[in-house]
Amino acid sequence: MNKPVKKIALVANSDKPAARRIVQRAARLAAAAGMKPVIDEAKAHSADLVMVFGGDGTMLHWARDMAGSGTPIFGVNIGGMGFLTAVSGKDLANAIRSIAAREFSIETRTLLSARGESNGAPFRLSAMNDIVISRGTVPRMIRVEVKVDGEVLTIYRCDGLVVGTPTGSTAYSLAAGGAIVAPGAGVFSITPVCPHTLSNRAVIVSQQSTIEVRMLDRQREATLAADGSDVVELAADSPVTIRRSRCTVKLARLPGSSFFQTLRQKLQWTGSHA
């Protein structure tokens, strides 16, 4: 049984015009349901649950912020695709009632950790979706050597490389031709972006694996991004080590919702609705 949610934090993407109105409505509904609403983002870590209003980008921001805290986050979609959000804005009242009644489940999602050096300084970044290595401003392919647990996998000649979690399999990895991976699968995916050799394909490895990526081109620019936001420059022969993070993220879900249901809805797949 979930712990009672006495204090609920309400955070939103301030760039969304509807964000302020829906947060105010959520605060009224939460108070009426016997919970204490917190709308000060700086105090979100003191809440029993964080309700996030926005799209997947807002969810990723708060997922990384709350990683390792054990506090579940619940997404309300007021953005685009919304693979990570639990409900749409029109279902807000029902969602508030379910949370107050402790009628929700918790999913644990794995994060990636990337370590390396950029411009002579060490960096360590975390990502819920993916670590992406991309070519710079010059529209030329890059050569990237990939090792898995110390053994060379291959040298990709490509426009970029996506190392993704199961959560991130419906993001950039999917656009690059990678497989859709169920959230509970204990794997990471390695997917080249526009590979210049037709035999280069996405590879699935265990989450216990250590992935080492090294750019080979000295005359080419490349960057590394964590969830599309934190970006660092990469130099040739400066390896990046990617492995499972020690921190996890807790996602709250309402009864009756599932990953496959979300896939059918978002990707407009056919299937039984019985």
Query: Which residues are known to be catalytic?
Result: 56
- Give me the count of residues in the chain: 274
Residues linked to residue 127 through DSSP beta bridges, in sequence order: 112
Q: What are the tokens at 208?
A: 């216990």
User: Which residues touch 33 (CB under 8 Å, ≥6 apart)?
Assistant: 96, 97, 99, 100
DSSP state of 136: -
Residue type, 221: E
Q: What are the tokens at 87?
A: 């409900």
Torsion of Cα atoms, 9 then 41 then 86 then 29, to 10° = 40
> Cα separation of 103 and 214, whole Å?
46
Closest CA to 188 of 148, 152, 233, 223: 148
